Amino acid sequence: MSIDHNPDPALLAKAETLVEALPYMQRYAGETFVVKYGGNAMGDPEAARDFAEDIVLLKAVGINPVVVHGGGPQIGQMLKKLGVESRFVDGLRVTDAETARIAEMVLCGSINKEIVSWIAQAGGRAVGISGKDGRLVVAEKVRRTTRAPGSDSEQEIDLGFVGEPADIDRRVIDTISKAGMIPVIAPIAIGEDGHTYNVNADTMAGAIAIALGAARLFLLTDVAGVLDKQKQLIRDLTPAQIAVLRDEGTIQGGMIPKLETCVDAVEGGVDAAVILDGRVPHAMLIEAFTKRGAGTLVWAD
């Protein structure tokens, strides 16, 4: 019998990838990864399939993935269809009772169940819930103030039913994960006042990651990560470095609240948080199981 000493290069590359990934799989077995899947990263059906396959693979190698999803663009589209005008303050949608009802319908209904379906098609088993289920997330009303030009006094802005996590009961997540299934969580929460609150998905994912003592928090978005002034990817950052970059204006706009979530997470006990491009095929696996990684890693000082 002859032996082929020149195997197919593509097969050899796959084998080498598995060998490189093995130490990381062993390291993270039994750990929890919280993954925030952003509204903008959901637009491409092929990327959605890749995302679902990655989540199923994580579960298959012994990691406990927990998905928290957004849906801002989809909420915006539905509000526009229904003729409801949107207003934003500091990136947060002002949410009256009607907007809260529509947000819950979009997030807990179509988006949540669509992600559950993607995971099922990839061979996994997922359970779609929201922060309201089992009082998983109890929210308190977000308070924001503003100062009028030329005035020294601050005025409170009423954002309506916009909340932030005040208390998290992890038992619902633990029950689902221990049953061999994957929790998929919509960022809707209940308040102590009985009202429904819309919660920023990044904020909810960070709070859940802290409550679970997660090894990783992944924020999947539609940018490569944090870029320097030359538009090159910064591969790792500490909270102190983030403060410097923010002060000098390198970090701006929507990246600021994402990095605030990352800093809160690592200072709250999460091993590391990562911002990466959810449109890149299998970016999460590249980040978790290779030396080079795929996004910007934030770790504690």
pLDDT digits (tens, 9 = 90+) for 234-269: 999 999 999 999 999 898 888 888 999 999 999 999
pLDDT band at 121 (very low <50, low <70, confident <90, very high): very high
Per-residue pLDDT at 137: 98
- The closest alpha carbon to 206, from 53, 54, 31, 35, belongs to 35
Lowest model confidence (mean pLDDT) among 50-59, 88-97, 103-112, 221-230: 88-97
Residue of 183, 186, 158 whose CA lies nearest to 173: 183
- Choice between 77 and 123, residue whose per-residue pLDDT is larger: 123
Give the pLDDT score at 253: 81
Q: Give the model's pLDDT for residue 124.
A: 97
pLDDT of residue 147: 61
* CATH 3.40.190.10 describes domain 29-299: no
The 10s digit of each residue's pLDDT in 158-168 is 888 999 999 99
Is residue 125 pLDDT above 60, yes or no? Answer: yes
Q: What is the mean pLDDT of the chain?
A: 89
Lowest mean pLDDT among 40-54, 67-81, 157-171, 240-254: 40-54
CA 6 to chain centre: 43
pLDDT of 16 reads 83
The predicted model scores a pTM of 0.89
What pLDDT digit, counting tens, does each position of 12-34 carry?
777 887 888 898 899 999 999 99
Q: pLDDT value at position 168? A: 97
Query: What's the pLDDT at 17?
Result: 79
* The pLDDT of residue 8: 79
- The domains of the chain are located at 29-299
Res 216: pLDDT:
97
Is a pLDDT exceeding 70 seen at residue 143?
A: yes
2, pLDDT greater than 60: no
